Amino acid sequence: MSVIESFLSVVFNSSTSILFAALGILLMHLSGVVNIGAEGMMLIGAFSGVVGSHLTSNVWLGGLFAMAVTGVVGLVYGYCTITYKANQVVVGIAFNILAQGLTTTLYRIVFGMNSSTMKVDAFSKLGAFSTPVYVGLGFVIVMTVFLNKTKPGLKVRGAGEYPQAIDSMGISVNFTRYASVVAGSMIIGFGGAYLSLGQLSFFTENMTDGRGYIALAAVIFGRYTALGTWLAVLVFGAGEALTYRLQALNSGVPSQMILMIPYVLSIVVVAFFGQKGSGPEALGIPFSKDGRQ
């Protein structure tokens, strides 16, 4: 029993950062904006979360600070992709590279070279799980209701599915997209902060290790619904938990082969469950009133 319990606890604890990132990506994608840059946004969230928590000695303020910073990052992302209509994939890649450069450089300047010993206030546990795990679960429900039952939620989906219709109703497609991008980025940023303040309690260079991309795979696997995304994230969480367990077991399987599991899993998942048809119709297409790009 305790084996199963501890396994589940690892599944939930380790998948929560990906869950937040995936829900943020989901919001952006549903509004019609592709976000390959989640990896970088998470990294910036992870970094600014540690900085905020260090400065305020309060982990929740650290999380808020991370959200504020990634919100600004999202605004810039929107400016490039919505206002300037730049290629969304390339902008996303550029944001990942930028985040890597900025966080690595800033980290060495703010904290010096040997700072893994530095203590920051981290998320405390509530029962078996760290507190944000519960927040994440609640957020799945909030997102489901928001996207299906509320007017703003329907606007978001309309902007991604059939922007011309939204526009003809007198609603600004680009404003809706901006709002989704900024809010989505903030959620992704919190996922990053959970990585550095919940799962671990420090920042290391490039600590996201592809989680932003895994979150993207989860959104596709989850068929662009909040509930589906959550289930997909749990599958990846189980993959990660399996990684830890196999490593601890000393099974004789080379550790590198074990560490590959989450990545191989996401290739398989995207290949077998990622048919393109399930995405929003206008995903990745900038909106102009005259229909031209």
Partner 1 sequence: MKVHRAVKPVLSIFLALLIGAAVILLLGENPVTVYGVMFKGAFGSTNALAGTLVKTTTMIFVGLSYGFAYKCGLVNIGIEGQLYMGGLLCSLTAIYIELPPIIHIPLCLLAGFVGGAAWGAIVGFLKTRFRASEMITTVMMNYVAIFFVSYMVNGPIKAEKGTYPQSEPILKSAELPTLIPKTQLTIGFLIAIAAIVLYVLFWKKTAVGYEMEMVGSSEQVARYAGIPVDKIAIWSMAVSGGLGGLAGCMEVLGVQHKIMEGLSAGYGFDGIAVSLLGNNGGIGIFLSSFLFGIMRYGGNAIQMFTKLSVAVIYILQALIILLVVVDVFKRSKRREQHVCH
Positions that interact with partner 1 (CB under 8 A) = 36, 80, 84, 86-87, 89-91, 93-95, 97-98, 100-102, 104-106, 108-109, 205, 209-210, 213, 216-217, 220, 254, 256-257, 259-260, 263-264, 266-267, 270-272, 274-276, 290
CB distance 166 to 2 below 8 Å: no
* Shortest CB 71 distance to partner 1, Å: 19
Identity of the residue, 170 or 254, whose beta carbon is nearer to partner 1 in the bound complex: 254
What is the enclosing helix (H) or strand (E) of 130? strand 129-130
The answer to whether residues 50 and 202 touch, using CB atoms and an 8 Å cutoff, is: yes
Q: Which is nearer to partner 1, 27 or 91 (CB)?
A: 91
Q: Which is nearer to partner 1, 109 or 248 (CB)?
A: 109
- Token pair recorded at residue 239: 């993959």
Q: Closer to partner 1 at the Cβ: 61 or 93?
A: 93
| Encoded amino acid at 260, one letter | M
Amino acid at 203: F
Q: What is the three-class DSSP state of 265?
A: helix
Q: Would you call 138 helix, strand, or coil by DSSP?
A: helix
Q: In whole angstroms, give the CA distance from residue 87 to residue 92.
A: 9
Q: In the complex, what is the shortest distance from the CB of residue 32 to partner 1, in angstroms, rounded to a whole number?
A: 16
Nearer to partner 1, 90 or 141 (CB): 90
Distance in Å, CB of 277 to partner 1, minimum: 8
State the nearest-atom distance from the C-beta of 253 to partner 1, in Å: 10
CA distance 138 to 132: 10
